[in-house]
Amino acid sequence: MKHRIELKNHQREIFYFRLRLMLSLGFVLLMLLILLLRFVYLQVVKHEYFQTLAESNRIAVIPVVPNRGLILDRNGVVLARNYSGYTLEIATRKVVDLEATINELSTLVNIQPKDRKRFKKLLAESRNFDSLPIRNRLSDEEVARFAAQRYRFPGVEIKARLFREYPFGEGTSHLIGYIGRINDKDVEQLEEDEIASNYLGSDYIGKTGLEQSYEKELHGTTGFEQVEVDAGGRGVRSLSRSAPVSGNDLTLTLDAKLQEVAEQAFGKYRGALVAIDPSNGDILAFVSKPGYDPNLFIDGIDSENWDELNNSPDVPLNNRALRGQYPPGSTIKPFMALAGLFYGRSPSYTIHDPGYYTLPGSSHRYHDWKQGGHGSVDMFKSIVISCDTYYYGLATELGIDKVHSYLSQFGFGQKTGVDMEGEVSGLSPSQEWKMKRHNQVWYAGDTVSAGIGQGYNLVTPLQLASATATLANDGIAFKPHFVKQIKRIPAGAPEPEPQPIHDMHIKPEYIDLVKRAMEAVTQPGGTAAGASAGAPYRMAGKTGTAQVIGMKQGEKYVANNISEYNRDHAWFISFAPVEKPTIALAVLVENGGHGGSTAAPIARKVLDYYLLGKVPTPLESDNEKEGAEHD
Amino acid sequence: MINKKELQRRFMVHLDPILLMGVGLLLLVSLIVLYSATDSNLLRVFGQFVNILVAFAAMWIVANMPLHYLMRSAVPIYIFGLLLLVGVALFGDISHGARRWLNIGVATIQPSELMKIAVPLMMAWYFEKNEATLTLKNYFVAALLLLIPLALIARQPDLGTALLIGASGFYVLFLAGLSWRIMVGMAVAAAAAAPFLWSMLHDYQRHRILMLLDPSQDALGKGYHTIQGMIAVGSGGILGKGYLNGTQTHLDFLPERTTDFIFAVYSEEFGFLGNLILLGIYIFVIGRGFVITANASTYFTRLMAGSITLSFFTYAFVNMGMVSGILPVVGVPLPLVSYGGTSMLTLLLGFGMLMSIHTHKQLVKT
């Protein structure tokens, strides 16, 4: 019985299976019929149409490159623009003897040895099928001369093109960055992002700075034109065209004039300055000195200029503001003071400073910068006169992990998340970090030096400026950013107002104490009194010194005995006006010695311009270039 | 002693002559068209010939394998393939924006190709194991066996291959008797969920989907391929431009003309008549596959043979549809004609299985 049922089921199953198989066959035949009909349509009905396209004319799809978006400062001053000009290009794969062709060309247009060198470099780096520029910015006369002789140079063409230009040159080099010719690595990245087809016809791509970080906004959408071309490959008639969409213009939070003032205030010094609006995180100035001329890079830099930039001991290509990591030195003290207050240290707690600090049970002396010490020091005074001994003790009392966890709230040891690629995170050490990184336990002595911002501590100027802005804004942190608005076509929603990313909820009396102390730093008796004398607004600040080389126990730092590149770095952080800060900044002067004497005057000039509109009298006639080369 | 005739018989005994004829014709077309598509590059044609020889040897071995070998291999092959896919996701080489290749030192392999065979094999094996007590749950599990590798391949991302493997798995489910109600229900559910899913996508994802549907949106990228392919096919006319005379082909207008767009080369040079012949050969091969499927003796072999046959049809249809502009451009070669060793191998492995299914059953009968 059971067997029969199974058998029956089996037959039924086969029946249903074959039914479904027949259905599949029907589906297959139907689909193939559709295909057949398509062939009839293409090859019989529309044959003549396609015949025409294929035989008498050929369709070429020509990409139409969009105009790159402009970069403007907050007041509409142009920082990166386009202008049109002529370029002489060689399609390298169509030319047999490049050398001979270039030699002949040089009888018509002015080709310098450096043009040849640059061309060779491009040739080595570029995609195989490119046509490469041998000369840019031809004069009208040169264009005319070449046009008359064009028949002699197959594969050589004059092209009208938009060139990128950075009117501020060196002054905005680390901020705006530059564009350069697309190389193999860029192509790989574009393919990975699946946007390679949008770059057909594009020769340039953002390489550093905001040009790189906002590449997607700035580039625009490539259009295309379908044209009929004759047998020689020349366009005869445009069939259809989709217009390119220009890249979006960027409006920055930056104030170009302020940037210029800050840049010039450095004079011959190397260093960095970042100024931020504490109430919203707008970056107002972003300087890294020395800079370089970004215009050199656009069409491939020649090897002489490149070697000079690349081998200079001043490393002008290094973006110090974003990527330079330095010990914060004494600028960390206001933040340390807040940490102390948070963990219960009374403001009135007073130490007696004999000029050094010793750990309990040890005879090792950690020296204060002032021999003989500062006498009685409470928290207020510890900031004003920058007492090291006070912070040796405070750090030891708190322990490194508490210091680490409180300082992280100001962003120490973390990337700020600024909208520029390549940021580094600095370092705010902890026991865990040292074990992980160095596989060593944390020593009590490590905490002592951490208390005054030396030892393992590292910050970037951007980071310190951001932390200062957070302090100035009473512990309410904003993410620093460069771009205020992106002008989209069609217009999208306006950029949302920046929102605070973190509120530390610092008690008003604590923040008030620290701010008053920082103001006193700029008053007579404070470490930055000289630079801030006579300011008609209330200015707060803190000086700092970052050691470049360590001093042995008992050895004395004498600047003149040390080679320049090993001298201390000078720091100054500041915000103003104290009652309602509208600008906060950090200045670093490499090998500048004391913060009060080299860094603070730079800050003063920036504040004077920003708050009073006061333009400093121009520095001595020597321009920045000479400044960058000084020894 | 075995004489020559006996040797010949033994070599041929598990090869299905009818199928072999169809496949042989397609391979012949492949070599002929490739010679034209490569601008008479005999080296490339020879390369394809080597691909064919290797794949043919593999086919012969599989055809001579008894069916229980095939069944027993289902689970290990499937798991092996799955591990390779996970390996690709973790350590794969990136090329053209997708992580599809696994570098194993001596060579790079593309595990998703293996899954074209492994997935239906595994599903058919699973249905055979549970044949006596099939419930809805089994279909669910089988669908899962399909969806796991599918998800891994789709996120490489290789949407084309994922769709093809999805089709081959769906054929197994369909032939295994998945209830109409569920299929209709799922189709309705998918249609209902589409607007919701659409609203969840990022702008750039929507853009990509729209581009698949309307290639002229991307006339510089994939749209260019379609436009040039259509011109090649259309300008071929009824009789074609003649062998080695295709202007689209030889003046460099056709992209990918030895692989995905080889049909455009064929169509331009041999015209509508040539297309009829090619379609005829495909129908012949597919028809033979249907006969083998209908006569297969076990549940497993029916499902497997049906899936192989229908998948073969799908590859051919999708490729020709793509070149002639009725389907979006997805990277699918024309089966047995396009240049390429891997796809040749998987296809002939499939045909080897078909032959094994057919000939071993006959041996059992007699």
Same domain for A462 and A591? yes
Same domain for A248 and A362? no
Work out the minimum CA distance from A205 to partner chain B, whole angstroms.
Answer: 19
Domain of A193, CATH number, reads: 3.90.1310.10
Average of per-residue pLDDT values in chain B: 86
Q: Which residue of A has its CA nearest to B279?
A: A32
State residue A561's pLDDT score: 65
Instruction: Judge whether residue A232 has pLDDT over 50.
Output: no
Higher pLDDT, A275 or A127: A275
Write out pLDDT tens, residues B275-330: 999 999 999 999 999 999 999 989 999 999 999 999 999 999 999 999 998 888 77
DSSP state of A599: I
Q: Is residue A20 part of a domain?
A: no
Cα of first residue to Cα of last residue in chain B, in angstroms, is: 25
By the CB < 8 Å criterion, does B283 face chain A? yes
To probe the interface with A, which of B179, B206, B211, B220 has the most A CB atoms within 10 Å? Answer: B220
- Asked whether the beta carbons of residue A32 and residue B317 sit closer than 8 angstroms, the reply is yes
By the CB < 8 Å criterion, does A15 face chain B? no
Alpha helices in A343-425 (DSSP H): 379-384, 388-398, 400-408
Q: Is residue A31 part of a domain?
A: no
Residue A311 in 3-state DSSP? helix
To probe the interface with B, which of A33, A50, A192, A222 has the most B CB atoms within 10 Å? Answer: A50
By the 10 Å C-beta count (0-12 exposed, 13-18 middle, 19+ buried), A453 is classed as buried
Q: At what angle do helices B341-365 and B262-295 cross, to 10 degrees?
A: 20
Domain housing A528: 256-629
H-helix or E-strand spanning residue A571? strand A569-576
For chain B, give the number of residues: 366
State residue B221's pLDDT score: 62
Which of A388-402, A556-570, A613-627 is least confident?
A613-627
Work out the minimum CA distance from B237 to partner chain A, whole angstroms.
Answer: 4
Which among A17, A35, A53 is the nearest to B231, CB-wise?
Answer: A53
Phi, psi of B332 (to 5 degrees): -125, 125
Chain B residues in contact with A18 by the CB 8 A cut-off are: 294
Which among A16, A42, A196 is the nearest to B177, CB-wise?
Answer: A16
Residue A250 in 3-state DSSP? strand
Q: Is residue A239 part of a domain?
A: yes
Q: Is residue A2 part of a domain?
A: no
Q: How many CB atoms lie within 10 A of CB A250?
A: 25
- Asked whether the beta carbons of residue A43 and residue B238 sit closer than 8 angstroms, the reply is yes
Q: Which residue of B has its CA nearest to A12?
A: B177
Instruction: Judge whether residue B108 has pLDDT over 80.
Output: no
State residue B280's pLDDT score: 96
Q: Which amino acid is at A393?
A: G
Chain B residues in contact with A47 by the CB 8 A cut-off are: 234-238
Same domain for A268 and A243? no
Q: Which phi-psi region, left, alpha or beta, contains residue B240 (left: φ > 0; alpha: ψ -120 to 50)?
A: left
Which among B96, B233, B293 is the nearest to A43, CB-wise?
Answer: B233
By the CB < 8 Å criterion, does A242 face chain B? yes
Same domain for A347 and A480? yes
Same domain for A497 and A573? yes
Band of pLDDT at residue B132, cut at 50, 70 and 90: confident
Which of A149-153, B24-28, B73-77, B302-306 is least confident?
A149-153
- Asked whether the beta carbons of residue B310 and residue A43 sit closer than 8 angstroms, the reply is no
CA distance B91 to B107: 14
State residue A541's pLDDT score: 92
Higher pLDDT, A192 or B251: A192
Question: What are the residues whose beta carbons fall under 8 Å from the beta carbon of B164, sequence distance 6 or more?
Answer: B116, B311, B314, B315, B318, B332
Chain B residues in contact with A65 by the CB 8 A cut-off are: none
Q: Is residue A18 part of a domain?
A: no
Higher pLDDT, A582 or A160: A582
By the CB < 8 Å criterion, does B290 face chain A? yes
Instruction: Judge whether residue B50 has pLDDT over 90.
Output: yes
What's the mean pLDDT in B84-95? 79
CA distance B327 to B160: 12
Strand partners, B175: none
Q: Is residue A6 part of a domain?
A: no
CA distance B41 to B35: 6
Instruction: Judge whether residue A525 has pLDDT over 70.
Output: yes
Instruction: Judge whether residue A463 has pLDDT over 80.
Output: yes
CA distance B205 to B202: 5
Contact yes or no for A513/A380 (Cβ under 8 A): yes
Provide the domain count of chain A.
2
Write out pLDDT tens, residues A318-366: 899 999 999 999 999 999 999 999 998 888 898 888 888 888 888 888 8
Which among A25, A42, A192 is the nearest to B233, CB-wise?
Answer: A42
- Asked whether the beta carbons of residue A53 and residue B235 sit closer than 8 angstroms, the reply is yes
Q: Is residue A405 part of a domain?
A: yes
Q: Which residue of A has its CA nearest to B316?
A: A32
Question: What are the residues whose beta carbons fall under 8 Å from the beta carbon of A616, sequence distance 6 or more?
Answer: A261, A264, A265, A605, A608, A609
Would you state the structure tokens that stand for residue B174, as one six-digit string? 């369909």
Alpha helices in chain B (DSSP H): 4-12, 17-37, 42-63, 67-91, 111-129, 136-154, 159-175, 180-200, 203-213, 222-236, 247-250, 262-295, 299-323, 341-365
Phi, psi of A216 (to 5 degrees): -65, -35
- Asked whether the beta carbons of residue A50 and residue B177 sit closer than 8 angstroms, the reply is no
Same domain for A465 and A495? yes
By the 10 Å C-beta count (0-12 exposed, 13-18 middle, 19+ buried), B249 is classed as buried
Instruction: Judge whether residue A628 has pLDDT over 60.
Output: no
Instruction: Judge whether residue A10 has pLDDT over 80.
Output: no
Chain A residues in contact with B251 by the CB 8 A cut-off are: 58
DSSP state of A292: -
Strand partners, A351: A377
Q: Which of residues 198-217 of A touch B (CB under 8 A)?
A: 198, 200
Q: At what angle do helices A2-39 and B299-323 cross, to 10 degrees?
A: 10
Is it true that the peptide bond before A577 is cis, omega within 30 degrees of 0?
A: yes
- The domains of chain B are located at 21-64+204-358, 68-200
Last residue of a domain, one of A232, A252, A272: A252
Instruction: Judge whether residue A512 has pLDDT over 60.
Output: yes
- Asked whether the beta carbons of residue A43 and residue B272 sit closer than 8 angstroms, the reply is yes
CA distance B270 to B242: 6
Would you state the structure tokens that stand for residue B236, as one six-digit string? 């071929």
Same domain for A214 and A268? no
Write out pLDDT tens, residues A236-292: 667 777 888 888 899 999 999 999 999 999 888 999 999 999 999 999 999 998 888
- Asked whether the beta carbons of residue B324 and residue A35 sit closer than 8 angstroms, the reply is yes
Work out the minimum CA distance from A197 to partner chain B, whole angstroms.
Answer: 5
Q: At what angle do helices B262-295 and B299-323 cross, to 10 degrees?
A: 160
Nearest Cα to A83, choosing from A136, A145, A146? A136
Q: A-B interface: how many C-beta pairs under 8 angstroms?
A: 122
Buried b (16+ CB within 10 A) or exposed e, A544-563: bbbbbeeeeeeeeeeeeeee
Would you state the structure tokens that stand for residue A627, as one six-digit string? 């400044």
Same domain for A511 and A463? yes
Which among B97, B175, B271 is the nearest to A194, CB-wise?
Answer: B97
Which among B208, B220, B271 is the nearest to A43, CB-wise?
Answer: B271
State residue B4's pLDDT score: 85
Band of pLDDT at residue A626, cut at 50, 70 and 90: very low
Q: Is residue A296 part of a domain?
A: yes
DSSP state of A295: G
Phi, psi of A52 (to 5 degrees): -60, -45
What's the mean pLDDT in A577-600? 88
CA distance A415 to A405: 15
- Asked whether the beta carbons of residue B272 and residue A194 sit closer than 8 angstroms, the reply is no
- Asked whether the beta carbons of residue B218 and residue A36 sit closer than 8 angstroms, the reply is no
Would you state the structure tokens that stand for residue B343, as one six-digit string? 């796809």
State residue A37's pLDDT score: 95
Domain of A347, CATH number, reads: 3.40.710.10
pTM above 0.80, yes or no: no
Same domain for A238 and A302? no
State residue A630's pLDDT score: 30
Q: Are strands A356-357 and A366-367 parallel, antiparallel or unpaired?
A: antiparallel
Q: Which of residues 162-221 of B touch A (CB under 8 A)?
A: 171, 174-175, 177, 208, 218-221
State residue A621's pLDDT score: 37
